[in-house]
Structure 1
Amino acid sequence: MNDHRPAPAEAASASPAVSSSARRSAEKAAEEAAEVRRFWGRLGLPGLIDVHTHFMPERVLNKVWEYFDARGPLTGGLAWPISYRQREAERAAVLRRFGVRAFTAMLYPHKPGMARWLNDWAAGFARRTPDCLHTATLFPEPGVETYVREAIEAGARVFKAHVQVGAYDPADELLRPAWGVLAEARVPVVIHCGSGPAPGKHTGPGPIARVLARHPRLRLIVAHLGMPEYEDFLGLAERYREIRLDTTMAFTDFTEALAPFPRLALPRLATLGDRVLLGSDFPNIPYPYLHQLRALERLDLGEEWLRAVCHDNAAELFGPA
């Protein structure tokens, strides 16, 4: 008769405390997924489209998480626990369980010579992840026009620009031809250009206004609704038809404590309802994904507005998910 006695590691993994904790975690995850699906189901949607989610090479993402853990200057020194600190495949699976039909791989360089390498990685990620909108990025450097054009020809459907992290002027002359290529190709660019959670030398509406004066047909999606310069970026969206805004972290308890959205500006946001897109910052958020959706719902701007923001506007911009 076999007398199998578990090794210490096996015994630890089989302990009631560990298995109970894992079970509670799984139950909590399943409950959140069910609630997210109920949210969009009540709206009569086929799911969600999230234009602001982060996938990047694992070692790069780990560095990003380390920066949040250390409360680096660009986080405003805030405590910022990562709610979905999982490996790549599991993060994608979480979004699918939520019913996110299309998402992005927002990635960004912080120095020259990095963007092309990130774009190569993102092209591979898009090939193995068909529900991800093929994402690319750029940086003000010689050759930027060439690799932007190459990324578009390879199938990139959205770009990411991060003025705060990259610490560059979006109106830099080096970027001028690249913006022209993107405007001509009508490829949207999700751009972090607001001064939250911490200002940078080139954040705020001024530099973006200079870019738009040169490229009025450029499809910019202003991340975080332009936090904290919300009203200035609403003004740019009212002036330029191709400007859109994403909801990333906006109206959540976390952001409202830091940079509250002015309630008198809500009617302007409602009027721009056909150009507001759902964004979340998943996985780098310090609260459950569901909270972003409920934060939008409690604005009480109506189901038609929610349907447009959570799915229809992005579906129109990128095509059916």
Structure 2
Amino acid sequence: MDDHESAGVRAFLARAGLPGLVDVHTHFMPERVLRKVWAYFDAAGPLTGREWPITYRHEEDERVALLRAFGVRAYTSMLYPHKPGMARWLNGWAAEFAARTPDCLRTATFFPEEGVESYVREAVEGGTRIFKAHLQVGAYDPNDERLDPVWGLLAEAAVPVVVHCGSGPAPGKHTGPEPVARLLARHPALPLIVAHLGMPEYSDFLALAERYEQVRLDTTMAFTDFSERFAPFPGEARGRLADLGDRILLGTDFPNIPYPYLHQLEALERLELGEEWLRAVCHGNGVRLFGLDDSGPDSSGHSL
């Protein structure tokens, strides 16, 4: 474990006056699936035009220990299928992972396929706190009619779903703001979290958050030196980012990031949007969204 980096993260917490972090976008998944994800990033140079080294290519228990050393009080196991027949199995693994790792918010996923409403309902009733949908990797339209009851169910249950819907690092058939705008027009109460701040269509996704009260955005990879080179955040949108400070959530993409975890935090800090904004993004908004209580067990009985 890198004690120097842990000390750097702890120093950030002290500067910001934070008791810890809530990270809504971290990846834990079955090892053989994760290895394939890493292989994808190892070959991502042709996709992004840049090398994408995995900074935290460690065993699962070491990755968990790192997040705890960083002061991350709650995090997720973002996982996602790329074909039919995977989601239910992934959800079973994620449930077991959350059971043995109580600081992880139980996470689930889905795919437009027969039986999707049934296994999503099972996941919700079983205690899932957050879902992940990856329109780029799954290559599906969020408006697929098979998913309509799923979105309705999640809206009614008020269970948030992190959706990779922006066109970064490379556009997909169903990425971009237009499919999501159509989805929200039908399900305006859907608690949707736009991954990566909608990179690179930042302004369009900020507009959706301004229109729909339950739309949030996570900071994953945004504002970092790596992302600013190919998808810079527009300076004129910084005021809108400040105004939406109660609906911006810390996300990092740990462990699949090509730079240290600390860099994401420092990238947010150097926006200079104020300590109150920084504390809300890195901690308070997540605490409120998931009903966490740093003074003891959260609403699910998990000790933070």
Q: If the length of structure 1 is used for normalisation, what is the TM-score?
A: 0.90
Distance 2:14 2:70 in 1: 11
Corresponding position of 2:154: 182
Corresponding position of 2:298: none
1:296 equivalent to 2:278? Answer no
Query: Which residue identity is paired with 2:149?
Result: P
1:62 equivalent to 2:32? Answer no
Query: Which residue identity is paired with 1:114?
Result: M
Contact 1:106-1:160 within 8 A present in 2 as well = yes
Q: Deviations over 1:3-34 (max 9, x none)?
A: xxxxxxxxxxxxxxxxxxxxxxx5xx101101
Q: Deviations over 1:101-124 (max 9, x none)?
A: 000000000000100000000000
Distance 2:34 2:150 in 1: 26
Distance 2:43 2:242 in 1: 37
Alpha-carbon shift at residue 78 of structure 1 (Å): 2.6
Corresponding position of 2:217: 245
Gaps of 5+ in 1: 1-25
Contact 2:45-2:52 within 8 A present in 1 as well = no
Corresponding position of 2:253: 281
Corresponding position of 2:8: 35
Alpha-carbon shift at residue 43 of structure 1 (Å): 1.8
Distance 1:52 1:263 in 2: 24
Alpha-carbon shift at residue 319 of structure 1 (Å): 1.2
Q: Deviations over 1:274-319 (max 9, x none)?
A: 0000000000000000000000000000100000000000000001
Query: Which residue identity is paired with 1:303?
Result: E
Alpha-carbon shift at residue 42 of structure 1 (Å): 2.0
Distance 1:161 1:227 in 2: 16
Alpha-carbon shift at residue 142 of structure 1 (Å): 1.1
Contact 1:41-1:47 within 8 A present in 2 as well = no
SS at match of 1:62: helix
Corresponding position of 1:216: 188
Query: Which residue identity is paired with 2:187?
Result: H
Query: Which residue identity is paired with 1:35?
Result: G
2:48 to 62, 71, 76: 76
Corresponding position of 1:45: 18
Distance 1:51 1:77 in 2: 27
Q: Deviations over 1:201-227 (max 9, x none)?
A: 000000001110111000000000000
Cα 1:241–1:194 change in 2 (3 A) is same
Corresponding position of 2:112: 140
SS at match of 1:37: helix
Distance 2:207 2:100 in 1: 39
Distance 2:198 2:212 in 1: 15
Alpha-carbon shift at residue 41 of structure 1 (Å): 1.9
Query: Which residue identity is paired with 2:35?
Result: N
2:201 to 215, 226, 229: 229
Alpha-carbon shift at residue 72 of structure 1 (Å): 6.8
What root-mean-square deviation, in Å, do the aligned CA atoms of Structure 1 and Structure 2 show?
Answer: 0.9
Query: Which residue identity is paired with 2:55?
Result: S
Distance 1:160 1:192 in 2: 8
Alpha-carbon shift at residue 38 of structure 1 (Å): 1.3
Distance 2:75 2:24 in 1: 6
Alpha-carbon shift at residue 76 of structure 1 (Å): 2.5
Query: Which residue identity is paired with 2:21?
Result: L
Corresponding position of 1:11: none
